[in-house]
Amino acid sequence: MNIIAKHRQLVTPGDLVAEGKFRAGQNVIKLNGDRFYATVLGSFEIKDRDTLSVRALRGPYIPRRGDKVIGKVVDISMGSWTVDIRAPYEATLPAGRFPARINPVFDDIRKFMGADDFVYAEIAEFDRARPPILDATLNREYGLIRQGVVIEVEPTRVPRIIGKKGSMIQLLNRELGSQITVGQNGRVWVRAPSPEAVSNTVSTIRLIEAEAHTQGLTSRVEERLKTLKNASQKVATENKE
Amino acid sequence: MVEAADSGSKPLLSPDGIRTDGRKIDEMRKVKMEVGLLKNCSGSAYIEQGKTKIIVAVHGPREAHPKHLAQPGRAILRTRYHMAPFSTSDRKSPAPSRREIEITKVIREALEPAVMLDEFPKTSIDVFIEVLQADAGTRSAGITAAALALAEAGIPMRDMVAAVAVGKLEGRVVMDLNEEEDEHGQADMPVAMMPNVNRITLLQLNGRLTRAEFEEGLSMARRGVDQLYEMQKQALREKYTSSEPAQEED
């Protein structure tokens, strides 16, 4: 029982992380007997005392059932939309799973959503044997995105943008007056009361993305929000004068 | 000392074991590696090994096109080794030559055992290896850089792959040939390895080696691969540690 890598240490593929009786979790493999190696670039973690895993720094988005994603319509066929969800597989959103009364025989589904439109939906089915199926009827917030800005971030850094139980999103929403929706696939939908608020929100999300693997991120984000707030107040008072 | 077979008056190795570019027999050329320099791909890497300069871009895993190539249980790995028209002193025709098609194949086979292809069924992972400047050892440097780019793309691998060529000059086994040595030397043997798994994924030999020379060459290649392997890991770590303070400024 010998753990070689430290908790949260940056490891690269092929790095020996531990030797002995452990279990290989995500992105860790067992080779050469009881030796455990990292398979991706990321930070090393020990969970449940004996499960070794590596949280990838970069990598593709792999859909999972129940994930809330922001997709982009790439193609339209008779009864469904083909949606890019930034995964290796293109998703399908059937007309019947779109939150509107559509009769696929009479209606042209283009009326509801066209190419390059963004849609917020949930992965209803996916098992790697068939392409993912989306559903936009399971929650009232799902559907066509009509306003705001959609930006793309590294899918592996989504958890840091959301924060523990949504703490980071709540912090941004509270301090910047914006409304942020984060898709698990690395697209972020930003709505904010003013263009400045949008750009402040986007730049703060970029900061979180760039420093997702560092510690003490929340305090740095708080600090940044404070300076942004002061700057905007200064502008406001100057305008009054 | 054996007379140089055909290189005429100028020996490739001096009697005290110094080569034409001043290196010792077991000394690699100067190597520089960098990752993440391209944006329109999943991962990228750049390598300089002496005067050899190569850039690699990785795309995917993405849907395999044409569709019939897709494998139901795993991803397919596609490679393209290509030399830029300006990479040699005489213009190289940009069309893939017989030699490039062969190198494409051996590089793919050198990387395939490392990449965990079964994680992404029905997709393709595409590796583009573009030689910007050729000065021997391009297939080995290409493999080293391709493994780096795959790692930067976040594609899971059993181990990194690193490669180096060893050769024979004036009857002595030497590390990492340059163009002149490759052209006039007695043998050239590129070797790619996965060091942790202790597996050779590419082994070619152009020329003749005795069994003893082969053994010596292989262990020399192992030492070279170990050096490159460390540099690969260093290049990956550097990208995500040293660049942080700079990003904090904006």
Nearest CA to B24 out of B236, B240, B232, B220 is that of B220
Residue A31 belongs to what H/E stretch? strand A28-31
Matching residue, tokens 């030699």: B99
Asked if the C-beta of B233 comes within 8 angstroms of chain A's C-beta atoms, the answer is: yes
Residue B243 scores a pLDDT above 60: no
Residue B249 scores a pLDDT above 50: no
- State the pLDDT at residue B7: 47
Nearest CA to B111 out of B53, B66, B56 is that of B56
| Contact: A56, B244; criterion CB under 8 Å | no
Q: Of all residues in chain B, what percent carry a pLDDT higher than 70?
A: 93
Contacts of A15 in chain B (CB under 8 A): 233
Q: Whole-angstrom distance between the N-terminal and C-terminal Cα of chain B?
A: 62
| Contact: B154, A90; criterion CB under 8 Å | no
- If one counts every other C-beta atom within 10 angstroms of the C-beta of residue B222, the result is 17
Q: Average of pLDDT values for B39-48?
A: 96
Contacts of B197 in chain A (CB under 8 A): 31-32
Nearest CA to B162 out of B175, B148, B150 is that of B148
Q: Average of pLDDT values for B92-114?
A: 98
Contacts of A214 in chain B (CB under 8 A): 244
* Among B63, B156, B157, beta carbon nearest to A88: B63
Which fold, B31-241? Ribosomal Protein S5; domain 2 (3.30.230)
Asked if the C-beta of B230 comes within 8 angstroms of chain A's C-beta atoms, the answer is: no
Cβ atoms of A160 and A212 within 8 Å: the answer is yes
Residue B38 scores a pLDDT above 90: yes
Tokens of A162: 């959301």
User: Which band of pLDDT confidence, cut at 50, 70 and 90, is reported for residue B45?
Assistant: very high
- State the pLDDT at residue A240: 67
Tokens of A82: 């083909």
pLDDT along chain A (241 residues), means of 10: 88 94 94 93 91 93 95 94 95 94 84 95 89 94 95 92 91 90 96 91 91 81 84 73 62
User: Which band of pLDDT confidence, cut at 50, 70 and 90, is reported for residue B248?
Assistant: very low
| Contact: A41, B62; criterion CB under 8 Å | no
- State the pLDDT at residue A241: 62
For residues A221 and A206, give the distance between their C-alpha atoms in angstroms, rounded to a whole number.
Answer: 11
- State the pLDDT at residue A38: 96
Q: Of all residues in chain B, what percent carry a pLDDT higher than 90?
A: 88
Domain boundaries, chain B: 31-241
From the centroid of its chain, how far is CA A169? Answer: 12
Residue B2 scores a pLDDT above 60: no
- State the pLDDT at residue A212: 81
| Contact: B116, A39; criterion CB under 8 Å | yes
Residue B9 scores a pLDDT above 70: no
Q: What sign does the CA torsion over B182, B108, B87, B34 have?
A: negative
Give me the interface pTM, i.e. the ipTM: 0.88
| Contact: A41, B63; criterion CB under 8 Å | no
Contacts of A59 in chain B (CB under 8 A): 153-155
Distance from CA of B148 to the nearest CA of A (A): 9
User: Which band of pLDDT confidence, cut at 50, 70 and 90, is reported for residue B247?
Assistant: very low
* Among B61, B152, B233, beta carbon nearest to A88: B61
Q: Average of pLDDT values for B150-175?
A: 97
- State the pLDDT at residue A131: 86
Per-residue pLDDT tens for B56-76? 999 989 999 999 999 999 999
Calculate the CA dihedral of residues A15, B201, B173, B187 and round it to 10 degrees. -150
Contacts of B158 in chain A (CB under 8 A): 13-14, 29, 31, 37, 39
Residue B1 scores a pLDDT above 50: no
* Among B63, B123, B151, beta carbon nearest to A41: B151
User: Which band of pLDDT confidence, cut at 50, 70 and 90, is reported for residue B250?
Assistant: very low
Residue B246 scores a pLDDT above 80: no
Residues in chain B: 250
- If one counts every other C-beta atom within 10 angstroms of the C-beta of residue A21, the result is 8
Distance from CA of A164 to the nearest CA of B (A): 22
Contacts of B144 in chain A (CB under 8 A): none
Which one of A8, A34, A41 makes the best mutation probe of the B interface by having the most chain B beta carbons within 10 Å? A41
Q: What phi, psi does A171 have (nearest 5°)?
A: -60, -45
For residues B175 and A172, give the distance between their C-alpha atoms in angstroms, rounded to a whole number.
Answer: 56
